């Protein structure tokens, strides 16, 4: 059994990853072995009891420790795995539900997969924002050492925006789609049974999740005793500093983008007015009527091009910035949790060392376990950090080239309009000249 | 014929541009003539702007090249002995033949003039040729400015634009079939000293006063000429619409400036951000430079666009000149109607005297009733006087009629000329505006493509 099951896993879900020998994938295999060896896998699939949830973290960290060495010698772009994805999810088709109790939006969540954890190759269910929220909490609880992608904000800013407006729903849908895709692409999170349940179950049993949340909340509180870390590894301090600066720059970019949109919309208002004046001028001219009308038309074309450009900035540019602002928060959160884990370990170690000096007892297994936990956490976090960095690089490359493209296309549209105006004006001129010669 | 004229004109503006170091060499005539060539460089486009503002190839311009080559700031005492700073403009003239012969062009005759002297010249022309639409001067103070543009009269950009405007004014006058032959205008171009005295000697100042009086007087013409009322209405509309357009354009320029300059902030942020990135760093850093370039490019774009605004402004001011001609026509028409009315009255009086009937209550009727019939002799002498008056009146009416006819004829001729010039100028102004817009688009495409390349390297 311990041989058969992992093989089966590998052939369906894991194999493509192992084939490319990605550091993360190398780590996957021990997971399945340990899982099946511990007999926990069946338990998960049977009822999904969250009671076992603490173990995946530690098991995954086991292999992550192995992975670390790989990582050093293999700086391969983690994006290679995107080619071998075997779990595809899409969020689309928002629908409004009105009942006596409440009004809400559901989104269609479609899944296509070849993984054997799924009974069917395809699923299509409807979920509302709350369900996504539930999933995220579950993921964070069950995989505390991993970076869970952010959800769009729950509350609309200052209540100015209409929650049921088409724009809002559209933007949120895109963000939810992004969230789910990121989870599905994650080498560890995508195997989380809660994700499975979220993607396949007709009804989600969310009660247990809430109970767990309070439990975890307590444990977090328990550790967060304001303990000062003795030696936080420099790389994690660097991560924290990076996030600080990055979030600051991101905030600046967001502000600039918003300001540009504002300036553009004001420019648009004036430009429209400007175009109208040409039209009214055309009305009181004879010979100049057509040239002036042409100019008015040209200005109107430029207005439309600008509208398109602003629209795409609003729809494509700003949401990505928002997502990353939230992403940074998630990342900081994970860093904080790591610090807490380290703090717990350091605390216990100190106590143990003290006791040993007095009683000459060996360091208890409990403390060693704690040390393991810290090391697992570090490894998971580093892996996720690398993954996040490379995602970020990819996303911003796409975002910024997209912005450049939009601007180029805006200018191209305007240029084409002005060039056709010149053609029109010149036709007129040659016409006049031929009239003169006649 | 047209080609040759434009050649001299192109060289002409070349001479002026040379000092601004904007032209590398005189452009070929072909390139200037083919305006539709959208690949025209800014220099060529500028050349176009300068040229299109003036109807080419008429009398004085054929004999003489005229340019306002330089502007200089001076400080001096004015009439009330107060210190003041003003700008003088260098007018260069030279015989046209010297250039076409190909050899080294003759050294131009030069003289300095102040804006106020240009004003005096224009007032003189306005009074002397009431039936001509006298070309306007460039604005005295910068109007329709957007906030980044200085409204200061001594601002170098403003002085430069005024220099171009003044040159344009001179070229307009010099190419006008009537105005170009004016002695005073010729002296303005050639005699630095004594010109002012020569103008004053013409006694135009008296006419200025009476002209002002008559222009401010209110009177109602009984039979207005529809052509002139239509023209007046048109110039009112044109005035309104160009003002609107200029105002709108200034706002558009303001906003566009904002859009570009805000992009400049990306430059700074990208550069700061690049400091914490590894692989992305270089791409971000250089993309940031392109954003700086983008933000900086708007200054030149809008500066160039001011030429277009100046072209529109010229026609805005032209509307005043058109209205002045219409007003003058109204005045002449009014005088004609007065003369006719006067004559009619005298004729009526004569008729009364002859038939002895008093149709209208009059003081004379009253006196005759009170003091009895006047003697036959008295009647005779009054009749002769009246007849004399009538004859005079008829002559006056005839003269007024002729005057009016002549005014209408000459004025209309100039109006037709003006209309043609206006259509052509504005048509070409629109083309050069479109060329400017295209060049702006091309710059935008260039910068964003460069930036994209950098982003792609991230």
Q: What is the CATH number of the domain that holds A184?
A: 3.30.1520.10
Take residue A436 and report the two structure tokens written for it: 């003169």
- Identify whether residues A113 and A193 lie together within a single domain: yes
Q: How far is A400 from chain B (nearest CA, A)?
A: 6
Q: How far is A334 from chain B (nearest CA, A)?
A: 21
Most confident listed range (A363-367, B154-158, B321-325, B435-439):
B435-439
A388-412 per-position pLDDT tens digit = 999 999 999 999 999 999 999 999 9
Question: pLDDT value at position B354?
Answer: 81
Question: pLDDT value at position B10?
Answer: 38
Take residue B333 and report the two structure tokens written for it: 């028409």
Burial of A114 (0-12, 13-18, 19+ CB in 10 A): middle
Report if residue A61 sits inside a domain: no
Please give the angle made by the CA atoms of B170, B174 and B177, to the nearest 5 degrees. Answer: 140
Contact A25, A17 (CB under 8 A): yes
Mean pLDDT score across all residues of chain B: 81
> Is the per-residue pLDDT at B388 higher than 80?
yes
Q: A401: domain range?
A: 230-432
Report if residue A426 sits inside a domain: yes
Please give the angle made by the CA atoms of A134, A140 and A143, to the nearest 5 degrees. Answer: 130
Q: How far is B315 from chain A (nearest CA, A)?
A: 13
B230 has a chain A CB within 8 A of its CB: no
A256-295 per-position pLDDT tens digit = 999 999 999 999 999 999 999 999 999 999 999 999 999 9
- Identify whether residues A297 and A378 lie together within a single domain: yes
Of the given ranges (A91-95, A408-412, B106-110, B276-280), which has the lowest mean pLDDT?
A: B106-110
CB atoms within 10 A of CB B103: 8
CA distance B321 to B411: 12
> Is the per-residue pLDDT at A429 higher than 90?
no
Using an 8 Å CB-CB cutoff, list chain A residues near B437.
414-415, 418
Mean pLDDT of B359-380: 63
Question: Can you tell me which residue has the tokens 């003039």?
Answer: B113
Check A280 against B36: CB less than 8 A apart: no
- Identify whether residues A260 and A318 lie together within a single domain: yes
In this complex, the residue of B38, B262, B448 whose CB is nearest that of residue A408 is B448
Helix axes B42-52, B376-456, angle to 10 degrees: 180
Indicate where chain B has its CATH 3.30.1520.10 domain(s). 46-99+106-216
A80-133 per-position pLDDT tens digit = 444 567 899 999 999 988 888 888 899 999 999 988 888 888 999 999 998 999
Check A256 against B269: CB less than 8 A apart: yes
Using an 8 Å CB-CB cutoff, list chain A residues near B249.
274
Distance of CA B215 to the CA centre of its chain: 20
Of the given ranges (A47-51, A326-330, B76-80, B144-148), which has the lowest mean pLDDT?
A: A47-51
CA distance B52 to B54: 5
Q: Are strands B83-95 and B109-114 parallel, antiparallel or unpaired?
A: antiparallel
Task: State the pTM of this model.
Answer: 0.76
- Identify whether residues A268 and A184 lie together within a single domain: no
What is the pLDDT confidence band of residue A13, given thresholds at 50, 70 and 90?
very low
> Is the per-residue pLDDT at B364 higher than 80?
no
Report if residue A58 sits inside a domain: no
Report if residue A33 sits inside a domain: no
Question: pLDDT value at position A362?
Answer: 72
CB atoms within 10 A of CB B264: 17
Mean pLDDT of B312-338: 92
B359 has a chain A CB within 8 A of its CB: no
Indicate where chain B has its CATH 1.20.1270.60 domain(s). 222-356+384-457
Question: pLDDT value at position A311?
Answer: 92
Q: Supply the CATH number for residue A370's domain.
A: 1.20.1270.60
Question: pLDDT value at position A58?
Answer: 41
DSSP state of B218: -
- Identify whether residues A155 and A265 lie together within a single domain: no
Is residue A130 classed as helix, strand or coil in its secondary structure? helix
Question: pLDDT value at position A153?
Answer: 83
B252-274 per-position pLDDT tens digit = 999 999 999 999 999 999 999 99
A48-59 per-position pLDDT tens digit = 333 333 334 444
- Under 8 Å CB pairs connecting chains A and B tally to 151
Take residue A344 and report the two structure tokens written for it: 């717990």
The fold adopted by the segment(s) B46-99+106-216 is PX Domain (3.30.1520)
- Count the domains in chain A: 2
Is residue B76 classed as helix, strand or coil in its secondary structure? strand
Using an 8 Å CB-CB cutoff, list chain A residues near B444.
407-408, 410-411
Q: Which CATH superfamily is domain B222-356+384-457 in?
A: Arfaptin homology (AH) domain/BAR domain (1.20.1270.60)
Question: pLDDT value at position B203?
Answer: 81
In this complex, the residue of B259, B287, B435 whose CB is nearest that of residue A267 is B259
Take residue A56 and report the two structure tokens written for it: 């995946």
Question: pLDDT value at position A359?
Answer: 72
Cβ density class A196-228: b for 16+ within 10 Å, e for less: bbbbbeeebeeeebeebeeebeeeeeeeeeeee
Is residue B191 classed as helix, strand or coil in its secondary structure? coil
Check A252 against B38: CB less than 8 A apart: no
Check A429 against B456: CB less than 8 A apart: no
- Identify whether residues A144 and A195 lie together within a single domain: yes
In this complex, the residue of B254, B276, B458 whose CB is nearest that of residue A246 is B276
- Identify whether residues A312 and A367 lie together within a single domain: yes
Check B269 against A249: CB less than 8 A apart: yes
**Cβ-based neighbours of B231, under 8 Å, separated by 6 or more:** B322, B326, B415
Report if residue A142 sits inside a domain: yes
- Identify whether residues A190 and A329 lie together within a single domain: no
Mean pLDDT score across all residues of chain A: 77
- Identify whether residues A310 and A416 lie together within a single domain: yes
Please report how many Cα atoms fall inside a 13 Å half-sphere around the Cα of residue B428, on the Cβ side. Answer: 22
Residues 386-425 of B with CB under 8 A from A: 423
CA distance A271 to A277: 10
Using an 8 Å CB-CB cutoff, list chain A residues near B449.
404, 408
> Is the per-residue pLDDT at A4 higher than 80?
no
- Identify whether residues A162 and A279 lie together within a single domain: no
Check A266 against B258: CB less than 8 A apart: yes
> Is the per-residue pLDDT at A298 higher than 90?
yes
- Identify whether residues A194 and A234 lie together within a single domain: no
- Identify whether residues A259 and A383 lie together within a single domain: yes
> Is the per-residue pLDDT at B7 higher than 60?
no
CA distance B428 to B39: 16
Nearest Cα residue to A50 out of A218, A213, A232 = A213
CA distance B218 to B220: 7
């Amino acid at each position: 059994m311990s041989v058969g099951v992992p093989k089966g896993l590998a052939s369906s879900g894991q194999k493509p990853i192992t084939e490319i020998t990605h550091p993360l994938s190398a780590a996957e295999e021990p997971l399945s072995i340990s899982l099946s060896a511990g007999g926990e896998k069946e338990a998960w699939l049977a009822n999904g009891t969250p009671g076992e949830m603490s173990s995946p973290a530690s098991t995954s960290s086991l292999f992550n420790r192995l992975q670390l060495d790989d990582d050093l010698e293999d700086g391969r772009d983690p994006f290679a795995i995107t080619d071998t994805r075997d779990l595809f999810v899409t969020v689309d088709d928002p629908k409004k539900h009105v009942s006596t109790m409440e009004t809400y939006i559901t989104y269609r969540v479609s899944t296509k997969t070849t993984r054997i954890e799924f009974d069917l190759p395809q699923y299509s269910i409807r979920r509302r924002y709350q369900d996504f929220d539930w999933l995220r909490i579950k993921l964070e609880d069950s995989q505390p050492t991993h970076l869970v992608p952010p959800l769009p904000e729950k509350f609309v800013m200052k209540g100015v925006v209409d929650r049921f407006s088409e724009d809002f729903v559209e933007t949120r849908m895109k963000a939810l789609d992004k969230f789910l895709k990121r989870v599905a692409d994650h080498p560890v999170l995508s195997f989380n049974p809660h994700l499975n349940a979220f993607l396949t179950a007709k009804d989600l049993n969310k009660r247990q999740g809430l109970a767990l949340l309070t439990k975890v909340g307590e444990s977090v509180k328990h550790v967060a005793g304001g303990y000062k870390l003795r030696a936080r590894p420099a790389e994690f301090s660097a991560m924290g500093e990076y996030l600080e600066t990055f979030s600051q720059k991101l905030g600046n970019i967001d502000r600039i983008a918003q300001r540009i949109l504002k300036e553009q919309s004001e420019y648009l208002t004036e430009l429209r007015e400007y175009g109208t004046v040409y039209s009214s001028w055309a009305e009181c001219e004879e010979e100049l009527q057509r040239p002036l009308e042409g100019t008015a038309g040209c200005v109107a074309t430029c207005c439309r091009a600008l509208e398109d450009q602003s629209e795409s900035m609003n729809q494509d540019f700003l949401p990505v910035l928002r997502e990353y602002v939230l992403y940074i928060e998630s990342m900081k959160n994970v860093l904080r949790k790591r610090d807490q884990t380290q703090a717990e370990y350091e605390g216990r170690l100190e106590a143990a060392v003290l006791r040993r000096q007095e009683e000459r007892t060996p360091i208890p297994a409990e403390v060693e376990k704690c040390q393991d936990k810290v090391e697992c956490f570090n490894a998971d976090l580093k892996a996720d950090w690398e993954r996040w960095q490379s995602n970020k690089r990819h996303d911003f490359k796409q975002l910024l080239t997209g912005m450049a493209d939009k601007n180029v296309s805006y200018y191209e549209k305007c240029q084409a309009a002005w060039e056709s105006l010149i053609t029109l004006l010149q036709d007129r001129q040659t016409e006049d000249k031929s009239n003169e010669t006649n | 014929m047209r080609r040759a004229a434009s050649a001299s004109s192109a060289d002409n503006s070349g001479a002026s541009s040379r000092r601004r170091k904007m032209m590398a060499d005189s452009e070929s005539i072909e390139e200037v003539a083919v305006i539709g060539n959208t690949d025209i460089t800014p220099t060529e486009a500028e050349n176009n702007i300068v040229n299109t503002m003036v109807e080419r190839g008429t009398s004085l311009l054929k004999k003489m090249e005229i340019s306002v080559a330089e502007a200089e700031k001076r400080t001096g005492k004015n009439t009330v002995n107060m210190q003041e700073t003003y700008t003088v403009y260098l007018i260069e003239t030279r015989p046209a033949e010297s250039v076409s012969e190909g050899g080294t062009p003759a050294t131009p005759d030069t003289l300095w003039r102040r804006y106020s002297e240009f004003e005096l010249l224009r007032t003189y022309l306005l009074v002397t040729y009431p039936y001509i639409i006298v070309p306007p001067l460039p604005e005295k103070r910068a109007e329709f400015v957007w906030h980044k543009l200085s409204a200061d009269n001594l601002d170098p950009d403003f002085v430069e634009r005024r220099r171009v405007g003044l040159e344009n004014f001179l070229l307009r006058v010099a190419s006008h079939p009537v105005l170009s032959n004016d002695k005073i205008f010729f002296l303005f171009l050639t005699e630095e000293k004594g010109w002012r005295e020569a103008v004053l000697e013409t006694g135009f100042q008296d006419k200025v006063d009476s002209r002002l009086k008559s222009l401010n007087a209110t009177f109602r013409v009984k039979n207005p000429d529809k052509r002139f009322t239509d023209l007046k209405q048109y110039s009112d509309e044109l005035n309104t619409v160009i003002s609107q357009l200029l105002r709108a354009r200034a706002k558009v320029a303001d906003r566009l400036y904002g859009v570009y300059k805000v992009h400049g902030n990306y430059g700074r942020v990208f550069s700061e951000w690049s400091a914490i990135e590894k692989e992305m760093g270089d791409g971000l850093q250089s993309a940031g430079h392109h954003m700086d370039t983008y933000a900086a490019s708007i200054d030149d774009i809008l500066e160039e666009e001011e030429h277009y605004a100046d072209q529109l402004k010229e026609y805005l001011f032209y509307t005043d000149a058109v209205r002045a001609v219409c007003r003058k026509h109204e005045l002449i028409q009014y005088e004609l109607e007065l003369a006719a009315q006067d004559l009619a009255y005298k004729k009526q009086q004569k008729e009364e005297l002859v038939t002895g009937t008093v149709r209208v209550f009059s003081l004379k009727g009253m006196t005759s009733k009170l003091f009895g019939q006047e003697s036959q002799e008295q009647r005779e002498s009054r009749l002769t006087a009246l007849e004399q008056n009538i004859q005079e009146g008829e002559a006056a009416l005839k003269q007024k009629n002729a005057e009016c006819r002549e005014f209408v004829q000459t004025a209309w001729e100039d109006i037709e000329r003006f209309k043609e010039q206006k259509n052509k100028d504005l048509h070409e102004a629109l083309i050069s505006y479109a060329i400017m817009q295209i060049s702006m688009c091309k710059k935008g495409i260039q910068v964003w493509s460069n930036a994209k390349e950098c982003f792609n390297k991230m």
